[in-house]
C-alpha cells in the first residue's frame, strides 16, 4: 500500500484557550498540511463547553496575517529594514545602557499593553523591568481596572484579590457600567458569560443593569436604569444610605472582620435617594426600590466594570461596589461575589500593591504598585528637566489609541531619544520605535492563562502545546524579554538577583518548566520526581507538597480539553485571619476624596453633553481591526445620539457630527437611537488607524475611523487612582 502524500494527510484537531479576551473559551482548531481548516468551540472544554464568539475564528487571520512581523525591523530614513536578532539586541543594549548611564533610571520607562496579560510571558516582565532599571512604569491598567485593584488592596490587603460574580449560583446580579454581551465578561472570566447570566433568570433570579446606554447586556436583563455618566458613586452611596435607614444591612459572618461601620454610615449620610436624583438622573423611588431588592436578595452579586472604573469618581465607585457586597452579606459567599482559587497562586506570586509611595514628576499623581497613571506618560516625555523620560520600551501596547489625548501621545513618542517595541505590528504606536521585536504567532507557542486565572467564575486549568512549529530563528515573548534581561542586568547585586527565582527557572529550563514548578507548588499541586529542577527549586525556597495526584504540566498534557477544579469556595475570611487584618469600610484614601464628591453634588452641570465609550463583540480594543471577517459590514465607528439631542442640535441620522474638547476634535457619522440616555453621546474606542506610517492594510482600508481618545483630556483624572476619565467627560457636539 502506498504511503499518504501531504495532499492526502488527514485533518487533526488541536485544543487550546482563545487568548483574545478574558473569557478564556476553549477552541477546537482543525488543521491539515500546516494550515488551519476551521476553528470551533471545544465542546469538551469543562469551562466554556463549546461556546466561542466571532473573535475566536479570527485566530486564523492573526496567524496568517501578511502584515504581522516575522523578523526584527529597524526604522531608517527610507522606512523599515529587517535586521538579525543579534544586531537588534546589540543596538538596543548599547542605546539603553548609554541613556541609563547618562540620565539614570528616571529617564527610562516601560509601557505594557492589554495583550501582555494574555501570555505566560507576564512572568518574565518583573525581571526585565528590574534589569532595565526603569523607574517609570506604565500600562493599560490605568485606562481600565486600576480603581478596582486599589480597592482590592485597600479593603482586602492584596491588589489581585479580585471578587468575581458566582454566576452559576447567583439569584440577583446587579451590573454597573459593564457589558458582558460585548466584552464576553471582563474582570470575570466566564466562558459563555451570557449563557451563565441567562441561567440566573432561568432559575427564577433577576438581572439589573445600570448604564447610560441600554447595552446589549441590558437588552437581555430584567431591568435597566439609565444613569448619567460619571455619577455611579452617588447612586451607590444613596443605596448604602437607604440600607442603613431601612436597617437591612446584614454582615453575616463578616461582622467581626470589618471596622468603621458607623464612620461609613456618617460619611455617606448626605447622599440620600432624594439628594442624588438630580445628578444621577435616577428617580429617588427607583433608587430606594433597587436598594431594597439588592439587600433582600438571598444570593446577590454587585459587579462593576469599565464604565464604573474609568470616570471622574472611579475610585469612590469601585470602593462602594465592594462595600455594598459586604453590607448585603454577599461577599465570599456562594451566589455572591467570590474569589477564585487558580492553579497558579497569583496572590502568592504577586505583590500586594502599594499606594502613593511614588508620585509623577510633573503633576504629582500617585503611583500604585510602582506604576504611574498613563495619563501622565506624554507630559513626562515632553516636559524638560531632571527625570524626563528619554527612552521607552513597549510590550504589546498601543497608547496612541488607548490612552487620553492621543495626538499629544503621538508627539511625545516622536520626541523620544530611543524607543523599542515588542510587538507583531507596525501600528499607531510602534511606528515611532527605532526597533520592533516581533514574537511568534500565538499558535506557535504553548499557552496557559496566568494573569487572568484569578478572575475565573469557576476554577479550572488548561495548558496547550504549540500548534505549529515556530519558524527558524524566531523568538517567543518570554525569550525576547529574557534576552534583554540578560544583556541589561549588571554583574552586581541586580545581576545576583536575576539569577534567582522564577527568572532562573525560565533561563535554565524554559517557560513550560517554570509553569510546571508553579503548578506543582500551587493550590492543587504535588511534589513529583523533578530531577535537575531540584537545585533551582531549592534556591527558590519552594515548599513542595507530598507525593500525590495533584496538578502538574504532565497531568494537563494528558487532559487537552482542560480540568474542572470545582466551584468557587469561601476563602477571604481565612486569608484575612492569616494576614491578621480586618476590612476597613472607610479607608482614608476614600474618605479624603469625599469632599470632592460633595462639591460635585451641588455644582454638577446636567446640561452638558457627555461622552462615553462602547465596544463590540467583534472588536478588541485597537488590536483586532486587521481582520476582514471582524470589521466587514457597515461601519461601527459612529456617534450614538438620542433623537431628542439630535433634533435640538440639528443633526440628522447618518450625517457627520463633530465632537470637541480642550484637546481636540473628531468627526464621525451620527447614529440616532433611544438606547442612549439624553445628554449622552457614545463613541467606540480603539479606532484611529488612518495615521501615516501605519502598516495595517485591512484596518486602514475598512476600519480607520477617528480615535475617541483624541478628544479625551489627559488632565481629567480620578483623584484617587489617576485613571483617565474615559466616560462622562463633557464635550461640545455639533453638526458639521
What is the CA 587 to chain-centroid distance, rounded? 25
Q: Per-residue pLDDT tens for 437-474? A: 999 999 999 999 999 989 999 999 999 999 999 999 99
Query: Do residues 200 and 329 make contact, with C-beta atoms less than 8 angstroms apart?
Result: no
Angstrom distance (rounded) from CA 415 to CA 398 = 17
pLDDT at 620: 85
- If phi > 0 it is left, if psi is from -120 to 50 it is alpha, else beta; for residue 157 that is left
pLDDT at 490: 66
* Cell numbers linked to 716: 481629567
Q: Per-residue pLDDT tens for 531-571? A: 334 433 333 333 344 445 789 999 999 999 999 999 999 99
Q: How far apart are the first and last CA of the chain?
A: 73
Angstrom distance (rounded) from CA 165 to CA 173 = 8
pLDDT at 253: 87
Angstrom distance (rounded) from CA 19 to CA 118 = 6
- List per-block mean pLDDT (blocks of 10 residues) for the chain, which spans 736 residues: 50 95 96 96 97 95 97 97 98 98 97 91 91 96 97 97 98 98 94 96 98 98 98 98 98 94 98 98 98 97 97 98 98 98 90 96 97 98 97 97 98 98 98 98 95 94 96 96 91 43 73 92 68 38 50 95 97 92 97 97 92 92 93 95 98 98 98 98 97 97 97 98 97 97
Angstrom distance (rounded) from CA 585 to CA 260 = 5
Domains and CATH numbers, the chain: 6-57 (2.20.25.90), 163-338+580-591 (3.40.228.10), 607-735 (2.40.40.20)
* Cell numbers linked to 15: 485544543
Angstrom distance (rounded) from CA 345 to CA 123 = 12
Q: Which long-range contacts (CB under 8 A, 24 or more apart) does 671-675 make?
A: 671/638, 671/639, 671/640, 671/641, 672/641, 672/642, 672/643, 672/646, 673/640, 673/641, 673/642, 673/643, 674/214, 674/642, 674/643, 675/213, 675/214, 675/215, 675/640
Angstrom distance (rounded) from CA 586 to CA 546 = 42
* Cell numbers linked to 476: 517567543
Angstrom distance (rounded) from CA 511 to CA 503 = 9
Provide the β-strand partners of residue 371: 137, 368
What is the CA 379 to chain-centroid distance, rounded? 23
Query: Do residues 185 and 193 make contact, with C-beta atoms less than 8 angstroms apart?
Result: yes
Angstrom distance (rounded) from CA 170 to CA 206 = 9
- Give the ranges where 406-459 is alpha helix by DSSP (H): 406-415
DSSP state of 58: T
Angstrom distance (rounded) from CA 366 to CA 370 = 9
Q: Kindly give the interhelix angle for 314-327 and 146-156, rounded to the nearest 10 degrees.
A: 50
Amino acid at each position: 500500500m502506498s504511503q499518504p502524500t501531504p495532499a492526502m494527510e488527514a485533518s487533526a484537531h488541536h485544543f487550546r484557550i482563545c487568548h483574545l479576551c478574558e473569557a478564556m473559551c476553549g477552541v477546537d482548531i482543525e488543521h491539515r498540511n500546516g494550515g488551519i481548516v476551521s476553528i470551533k468551540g471545544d465542546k469538551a472544554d469543562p469551562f466554556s463547553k463549546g461556546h466561542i464568539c466571532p473573535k475566536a475564528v479570527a485566530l486564523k487571520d492573526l496567524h496568517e496575517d501578511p502584515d504581522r512581523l516575522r523578523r526584527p525591523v529597524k526604522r531608517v530614513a527610507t522606512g523599515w529594514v529587517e535586521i538579525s536578532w543579534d544586531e537588534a539586541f546589540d543596538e538596543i543594549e548599547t542605546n539603553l545602557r548609554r541613556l541609563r548611564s547618562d540620565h539614570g533610571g528616571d529617564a527610562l520607562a516601560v509601557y505594557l499593553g492589554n495583550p501582555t496579560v494574555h501570555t505566560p510571558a507576564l512572568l518574565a516582565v518583573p525581571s526585565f523591568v528590574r534589569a532595565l532599571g526603569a523607574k517609570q512604569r506604565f500600562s493599560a491598567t490605568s485606562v481600565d481596572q486600576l480603581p478596582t485593584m486599589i480597592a482590592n488592596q485597600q479593603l482586602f490587603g492584596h491588589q489581585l484579590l479580585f471578587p468575581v460574580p458566582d454566576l452559576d449560583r447567583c439569584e440577583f446580579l446587579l451590573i454597573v457600567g459593564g457589558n458582558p454581551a460585548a466584552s464576553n465578561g471582563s474582570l470575570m472570566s466566564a466562558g459563555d458569560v451570557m449563557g451563565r447570566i441567562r441561567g440566573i433568570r432561568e432559575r427564577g433570579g433577576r438581572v439589573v443593569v445600570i448604564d447610560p446606554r441600554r447595552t446589549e447586556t441590558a437588552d437581555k436583563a430584567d431591568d435597566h436604569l439609565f444613569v448619567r455618566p460619571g455619577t455611579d458613586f452617588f447612586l451607590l452611596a444613596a443605596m448604602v444610605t437607604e440600607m442603613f435607614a431601612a436597617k437591612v444591612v446584614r454582615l453575616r459572618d463578616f461582622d467581626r472582620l470589618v471596622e468603621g461601620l458607623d464612620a461609613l454610615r456618617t460619611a455617606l449620610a448626605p447622599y440620600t435617594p432624594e439628594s442624588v436624583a438630580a445628578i444621577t438622573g435616577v428617580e429617588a423611588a427607583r433608587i430606594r426600590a433597587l436598594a431594597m431588592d439588592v439587600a433582600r436578595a438571598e444570593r446577590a452579586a454587585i459587579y462593576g466594570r469599565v464604565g464604573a472604573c474609568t470616570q471622574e469618581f472611579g475610585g469612590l465607585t469601585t470602593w462602594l461596589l465592594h462595600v455594598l457586597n459586604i453590607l448585603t452579606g454577599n461577599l465570599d459567599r456562594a451566589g455572591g461575589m467570590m474569589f477564585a482559587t487558580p492553579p497558579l497562586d497569583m496572590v502568592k506570586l504577586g505583590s500586594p500593591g502599594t499606594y502613593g509611595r511614588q508620585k509623577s514628576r510633573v503633576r504629582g499623581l500617585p503611583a500604585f504598585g510602582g506604576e504611574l497613571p498613563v495619563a501622565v506618560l506624554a507630559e513626562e516625555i515632553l516636559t524638560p528637566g531632571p527625570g524626563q523620560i528619554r527612552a521607552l520600551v513597549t510590550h504589546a501596547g498601543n497608547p496612541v489609541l488607548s490612552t487620553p489625548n492621543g495626538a499629544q501621545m503621538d508627539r511625545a513618542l516622536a520626541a523620544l531619544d530611543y524607543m523599542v517595541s515588542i510587538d507583531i505590528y507596525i501600528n499607531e504606536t510602534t511606528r515611532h520605535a527605532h526597533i520592533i521585536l516581533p514574537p511568534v504567532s500565538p499558535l506557535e507557542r504553548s499557552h496557559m492563562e496566568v494573569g487572568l486565572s484569578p478572575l475565573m467564575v469557576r476554577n479550572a486549568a488548561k495548558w496547550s502545546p504549540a500548534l505549529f512549529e515556530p519558524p527558524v530563528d524566531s523568538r517567543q515573548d518570554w525569550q525576547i524579554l529574557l534576552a534583554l534581561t540578560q544583556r541589561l542586568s549588571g554583574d552586581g547585586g541586580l545581576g545576583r538577583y536575576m539569577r534567582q527565582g522564577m527568572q532562573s527557572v525560565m533561563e535554565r529550563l524554559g517557560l513550560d518548566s517554570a509553569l510546571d514548578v508553579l503548578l506543582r507548588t500551587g493550590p492543587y499541586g504535588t511534589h513529583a520526581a523533578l530531577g535537575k529542577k531540584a537545585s533551582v527549586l531549592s534556591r527558590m525556597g519552594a515548599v513542595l507538597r507530598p507525593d500525590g495526584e495533584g496538578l502538574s504540566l504532565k497531568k494537563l498534557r494528558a487532559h487537552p480539553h482542560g480540568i474542572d477544579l470545582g466551584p468557587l469556595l469561601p476563602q477571604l475570611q481565612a486569608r484575612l485571619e492569616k494576614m491578621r487584618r480586618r476590612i476597613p469600610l472607610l479607608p482614608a484614601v476614600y474618605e479624603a476624596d469625599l469632599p470632592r464628591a460633595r462639591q460635585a453634588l451641588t455644582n454638577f452641570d446636567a446640561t452638558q453633553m457627555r461622552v462615553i465609550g462602547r465596544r463590540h463583540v467583534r472588536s478588541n480594543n485597537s488590536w483586532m481591526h486587521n481582520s476582514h471577517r471582524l470589521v466587514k459590514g457597515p461601519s461601527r465607528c459612529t456617534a450614538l445620539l438620542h433623537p431628542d439631542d439630535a433634533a435640538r442640535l440639528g443633526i440628522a441620522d447618518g450625517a457627520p457630527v463633530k465632537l470637541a474638547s480642550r484637546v481636540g476634535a473628531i468627526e464621525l457619522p451620527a447614529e440616532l437611537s433611544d438606547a442612549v440616555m439624553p445628554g449622552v453621546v457614545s463613541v467606540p474606542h480603539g479606532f484611529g488607524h488612518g495615521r501615516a506610517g501605519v502598516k495595517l492594510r485591512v484596518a486602514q482600508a475598512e476600519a480607520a475611523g477617528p480615535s475617541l481618545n483624541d478628544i479625551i483630556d489627559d488632565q481629567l483624572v480620578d483623584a484617587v487612582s489617576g485613571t483617565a476619565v474615559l466616560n462622562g467627560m463633557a464635550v461640545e457636539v455639533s453638526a458639521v
